[in-house]
Structure 1
């Protein structure tokens, strides 16, 4: 769960740093604003595609730790 919260915090911080609203990010990532809220709070069950799309828009990379 710590990694989910870390991803959530990173995406939220990067979005704010970029001066984007959740609505802006949802349009750019081609997902719903509700999904962006779920990603940023670490709640719900957003798809990996949606998380990756949001991260890519913000210039973040997702990596897999073994």
Structure 2
């Protein structure tokens, strides 16, 4: 599994654990539901700022190595 997919899986797991729908997360992060779907599935090319916003809402940290 690639890094992009791993980030998406972590965001999806944290969202579900928090009891949020993709729409809820999108609203809280200020991004579109379509972008949340793209992040979680590792498809498309969502902006890093969008990924960071979703992660931040869920209390996750993105670390660049």
- TM-score where L is the length of structure 2: 0.98
1:11 match: 11
1:55 match: 55
- Residue-pair matches, total: 65
4+ runs of 1 displaced by more than 6 Å?
Answer: none
User: SS in structure 1 opposite 2:46?
Assistant: coil
Structure 1: how far apart are the matches of 2:44 and 2:2? 15
User: SS in structure 1 opposite 2:64?
Assistant: coil
RMSD: 0.8
Deviation of 1:62 (Å):
0.1
* 1:25-49 deviations in Å (ceiling 9; x for gaps): 0000000000000000000000000
User: SS in structure 2 opposite 1:64?
Assistant: coil
